[in-house]
Amino acid sequence: MDAAAHWNRLTEAHLAPYKWILCTDVAAAFTPYLAMFGGMSAPRPLLLAGSEGTGEQPDPELAEIVILGTSGDSMLGGIRAYHDALRDLPEWVMERIEAWDPKGEARILASFLDTDFEIGGRRTWGARPAEWLALEDKTIIDAVWDAAGVDRAPSEVVHAERTALVEAAGRLDRGSGTLWTADNREGWHGGAEYSRYVRDPAHASSAIGFMEEKANRVRVMPFLEGIPCAIHGLVFPDAVSTFRPAEMQVFRLPDSDLLRYGGAATTWDPPYARREEMREVSRTVGAHLRESAGFRGAFTIDGVMTAEGFRPTELNPRYGAGIGVIGRTAGAPLLGISRMLIAGEDADYRPAELEEVVVAAADQTRFLGGITPLWHEVAETTERRLRVGAEGTVSRADDGEGNATLSVGPAAHGGVIRFRVDDGEAPKGPQGAPIMAAAVAIADEEWSTGVGELIPATPAD
């Protein structure tokens, strides 16, 4: 019997009766989920996407498909442009929606990154309240760690100007440089786009200029040596379920203050005691969020596994990439459960049992893959097969078989490289980031993508 069957039935009961407007910035990302709606015998949905993206496109038999054609100058910019467009849809889009839903009965499933909004009087269901966005500001989050009693690295929040930044960096540098992260003046941000690794503040003109342009205040903290990782949880009215760690594939670049994000993977295992330390942090912070902010649903704590233990660096009060891959390997509808919790649905959630099922399944079946942006236009999707070994080796599968797919294709901001090991084929134990870096190097050689060398993090001990 499917271990997650109870929770799949639970979410289906809240989805199947309704017409849905499904919102996603990339249409290809929703291709596998449309079959799920068909399997529930739900009314044919409308997929409202920003761009087509890279990969197999959704089947128009399964959904009314509307592509807005939004774009941006970065991955984050593309997502923001899509969210803005949803709040001011052109007349031709509204005509399509009204023709599909003339009675105005549909509900909206917003992107998990978005907040509550409406389209022609139709409301979102299970979208996070805008008030929770404040918790995503990296310059205020250390107060949450302190209030929850969680160990963290030292930090200072200073004005976004040269003297304050340089002086704070001098005070906080432990020998590996410092990490600077902007506030949310321009809105929420992620994927390390608004962070800079500053090795030497005396030669940090680029980082200083960026912060002066983009932020009012900046958090400065020591650059932490170790493995970037995250722990995820679900906040219920009377419990917090927490799952297994996920590695965050974040790369340094040679002679640069930029960081490049490459997605989440679950092949890497921290020592068991450190893993349980992370899970206890998640449980403690989740309970604090429930009591202090009325929080419900999924959240992510990003941080670094250092020689001294896990040190949190940011909170994402929402569903995230890591919990997505953990839920997928477990076959559990964690996003659907999160939406139900946010919407205040009364249901037989069984949080302790859910935690046990998801952790066991995600430990057994690992996920390895990633995505990283390109800043030039890519017209079409091209792919090739790779072979990933049990020890993390990566090679071309010239026979066309292999156990992983590497692709390059279009995106709202230009293009992307995507890499994914086949389901059930990801190794247990190796770090994901070096494997992702090796795959990107092959993409550079095959398609002249121009990413260049990626420097993975290494264990601190």
Boundary (domain end) residue, out of 223, 247, 280: 223
Q: Do residues 450 and 444 make contact, with C-beta atoms less than 8 angstroms apart?
A: yes
**Inside any domain, residue 134:** no
**Inside any domain, residue 122:** yes
Contact partners, residue 202, CB within 8 Å, separation at least 6: 166
Q: CA-to-CA distance for 172 and 186, rounded, in angstroms? A: 26
**Inside any domain, residue 377:** yes
In 141-245, DSSP assigns E strands to 156-159, 178-182, 195-198, 217-222, 227-235, 240-242
Q: pLDDT per position in the chain (461 positions), as tens?
A: 588 999 999 999 999 999 999 999 999 888 888 877 777 788 999 999 999 988 889 999 999 999 999 998 888 888 999 999 999 999 999 999 999 999 999 999 999 999 999 999 999 999 999 899 889 999 999 999 999 999 999 999 999 999 999 999 999 999 999 999 999 999 888 889 999 999 998 889 999 999 999 999 999 999 999 999 999 999 999 999 999 999 999 999 999 999 999 999 999 999 999 999 999 999 999 999 999 999 999 999 999 999 999 999 999 999 988 999 999 888 999 999 999 999 999 999 999 999 999 999 999 999 999 999 998 999 899 999 999 999 999 999 988 789 999 999 999 888 999 999 999 999 999 999 999 999 999 999 999 999 999 999 999 87
- Nearest Cα residue to 235 out of 180, 179, 301: 301
Helix (H, G, I), strand (E, B) or coil at 394: strand
98 & 41 share domain: yes
- Count, residues in the chain: 461
CATH number, domain containing residue 195: 3.30.1490
Q: Do residues 83 and 112 make contact, with C-beta atoms less than 8 angstroms apart?
A: no
Helix (H, G, I), strand (E, B) or coil at 54: coil
Model pTM score: 0.94
Helix (H, G, I), strand (E, B) or coil at 356: helix
Q: Which residue has the tokens 């839920």?
A: 327
Q: CA-to-CA distance for 358 and 282, rounded, in angstroms? A: 15
Q: CA-to-CA distance for 223 and 229, rounded, in angstroms? A: 14
- Write the Ramachandran bin of 438: left for phi over 0, alpha for psi from -120 to 50, otherwise beta: alpha
Boundary (domain end) residue, out of 166, 198, 223: 223
101 & 175 share domain: no
List b or e across 366-404, with b for residues whose CB sees 16 or more CB atoms inside 10 angstroms.
bbbbbbbbbeeebeebeebbbbbeeebebeebeeeebbb
Domain count, the chain: 3
Helices marked H in 63-173:
75-86, 91-100, 141-148, 162-172
Sign of the torsion angle spanned by Cα atoms 160, 161, 164, 165: positive
Q: Which domain holds residue 162?
A: 154-223
Q: CA-to-CA distance for 183 and 138, rounded, in angstroms? A: 6
Instruction: Give the β-pairing of 20-26 and 46-51.
Output: parallel
Instruction: Give the β-pairing of 118-119 and 156-159.
Output: unpaired
119 & 162 share domain: no
Q: CA-to-CA distance for 334 and 342, rounded, in angstroms? A: 12
Q: CA-to-CA distance for 432 and 268, rounded, in angstroms? A: 7
**Inside any domain, residue 357:** no
Identify any residues that bridge with 33 across adjacent strands, giving them in sequence order: none
Q: Do residues 383 and 397 make contact, with C-beta atoms less than 8 angstroms apart?
A: no
121 & 196 share domain: no
CA atoms within 13 A on the CB side of 153: 28
19 & 91 share domain: yes
24 & 113 share domain: yes
Q: Which residue has the tokens 């974040």?
A: 250
What the block records as the tokens of 64 is 């009314």
40 & 75 share domain: yes
**Inside any domain, residue 165:** yes
Q: CA-to-CA distance for 233 and 242, rounded, in angstroms? A: 4
**Inside any domain, residue 276:** no
Q: CA-to-CA distance for 189 and 203, rounded, in angstroms? A: 25
201 & 109 share domain: no
Boundary (domain end) residue, out of 127, 144, 171: 127
Dihedral of the alpha carbons of 270, 271, 276, 278, in degrees to the nearest 10? -40
158 & 78 share domain: no
**Inside any domain, residue 22:** yes
123 & 159 share domain: no
Instruction: Give the β-pairing of 309-316 and 369-374.
Output: unpaired
Q: CA-to-CA distance for 276 and 43, rounded, in angstroms? A: 43
Angle at 348 between CA 345 and CA 352, to 5 degrees: 115
Q: CA-to-CA distance for 395 and 439, rounded, in angstroms? A: 8
Identify any residues that bridge with 302 across adjacent strands, giving them in sequence order: 230, 314
pLDDT at position 75 is 85
**Inside any domain, residue 140:** no
Instruction: Give kind and range of the element (H or E) at residue 118.
Output: strand 118-119
Sign of the torsion angle spanned by Cα atoms 17, 322, 294, 131: negative
Q: List the end-to-end C-alpha distance of the chain, in Å, as a whole number.
A: 42
106 & 48 share domain: yes
96 & 169 share domain: no
